[in-house]
Structure 1
């Protein structure tokens, strides 16, 4: 008999972001596999998860779960109670934290350990994640890592037991992230105020590990002397990287930076597919979901060889070192070589098909079974 799984989706933020895309993609694929599911979620997400997994038992938590401190407190006592009420055999916590006394086997997804590898590149306010990650690595029945690089870092930096770590790559929704039509590209370009002007795209938080200041500096260095330089679109959350504003202050008046904030999912294919290239010159990732999503939209991608990014991009993306002069050279090379951009876009679209939420869900199911079996053997 397959285990009954309680998926704790209460940590998914209102803007959803990468965590929301992970939970949504996984939940829909688990449902398609016939998994026996219950989902704990915030009240605003009750309908969404009910539609993603019809037949799953959806348990909405108290309104206070929208606040991080209240959610973390509820997780310690409220989540184990919900697990008891729904008869769960295993609890899956899709991000870092774990109840100290869950009352049943637990599976925790550790998305990345860059807080340990590069602590200076993270907001000090997020230090609680370090403690939570250490606790999860020590107490969870099983850990899920989204890449080999993250799995290896868990062992190296947190002394996690490699026999208790399961690898489950993220997937991509090929329907949601598709090669865009000319109309989709035009709508996004017009919404950004670019009206067909060429641009490079970035999607993500403005955190030091994302290396956005060097992206800005590299872009300025590459195109400041050109009369019609491509724009730079920095989409996503604001983040806390103080160097971003300093880098932006160096942008000449004839060069344009567009900061639209969060864009709806429906706009992302047009954003990615309409760009000269999608850029993620990151110094550290756990997986690099925007890279995969851009590849699925048949966009040329420029990233680094740091961490798991080569596991995702393979030979279907362009690579750069994370320093500004290297980024500048890579941007110029892509801009001046349309044939290479087209070849990368084609290769990216094909490689993205290797990453499916179905395969990810199957790997998660194996982890759930291992957790239940291991707990029963103790």
Structure 2
């Protein structure tokens, strides 16, 4: 790489899930922003699942987009290919840097490697993961901190936890906040809100929204219990809508069984991407009482949809929400009290909705892409 020449970077997008969940939002947002920088700030190649090749080719007209072997769609095969096939591919495309966007990276590569470590909750909140997942990701994070030339994290809280818990070298960590797609996530129109209500069968019933994976760390059971306490005695109680992917939190079903029969709780699963602004922005409150996040993309997306947000002050969440969200604890009693206070205060909900919407504008994928390119340039040098 000569002076002034952008580094040739291969981004491994094979870990993006079909549901475009957390890592999918990150990779899609990052690559979308990099599309305008190809040829000037970065010389980009992307390897993706065959189902994503055309999508990324359209998104990145100036980049080389390569389809991974079909077997890589299965996680064990992908992890094996990452160690052997990915370094070979990096060499074939002349990559000066290889970027792995989801915790793991090749142990041996012919070029510098950068890796994104999304959070440290496998260490700070170990009780919220099953043993196999906890063991795998703890090992992956430790290995990436040893092997990668640079590590990218989405928040200062994650950086600080890696330093505190794993003695990571702070000079090798770059903080790149996630962004939000302000076209996809926007203040919804009344028509968009009505369409979601119709799809969910809510009619004229108001609701509290949750959007995310049903993992123990997300604290959905205590949200259900707190909501039930907050609304049980109201004349016109708002429903609770738990949307998003399935998970492995068995306590959710127990919490659902405790809900009084006169209350409405809906679990519609995945919602259409186009329905998310109407769903989030149409809620009385978007509630996300997580035990801790590496970033907190769901609350940022809710803020961008002009939803008043209730979350916890754990790990990175205050970095995202600042003074533009309301805070509670993880306990159902406190969730009930703070949710009830918000439901009774329309003026505060309006104020939070506006403050969150304005704050969300500060988080862009273009800013995140700038930090990634700077990290890749340092790694290449």
Asked if residue 30 in structure 1 is aligned to residue 30 in structure 2, the reply is: no
Match of 1:13 among 12, 17, 22: 17
The equivalences for 1:73-88 within 5 A come to 73-88=80-95
Displacement over 6 Å in runs of 4+: none
The equivalences for 1:1-378 within 5 A come to 1-34=5-38, 35-126=42-133, 127-373=135-381
TM-score with structure 1 setting the length: 0.97
> 1:347-373 CA deviation, whole Å, 9 max, x = no partner?
111101110011000011111011112
> 1:64-122 CA deviation, whole Å, 9 max, x = no partner?
11110000001011101110111111011110001111111111000001011111111
Q: Is the 8 A contact 1:235 1:262 kept in 2?
A: yes
Q: Is the 8 A contact 1:280 1:303 kept in 2?
A: yes
Partner SS, residue 45 of structure 2: strand
CA distance in 2, matches of 1:288, 1:311: 9
Partner SS, residue 354 of structure 1: coil
Partner SS, residue 32 of structure 1: coil
The Cα shift of 1:227 comes to: 3.2
CA distance in 1, matches of 2:318, 2:334: 17
* RMSD of aligned alpha carbons: 0.9
Query: 1:376 is matched with which residue?
Result: none
CA distance in 1, matches of 2:281, 2:354: 12
Q: Is the 8 A contact 1:186 1:196 kept in 2?
A: no
Q: Return 5+ residue gaps in structure 2 as ranges.
A: none
CA distance in 1, matches of 2:77, 2:68: 11
Q: Return 5+ residue gaps in structure 1 as ranges.
A: 374-378
> 1:294-331 CA deviation, whole Å, 9 max, x = no partner?
11111100001000100000111011011111100111
CA distance in 1, matches of 2:223, 2:200: 19
The Cα shift of 1:123 comes to: 2.5
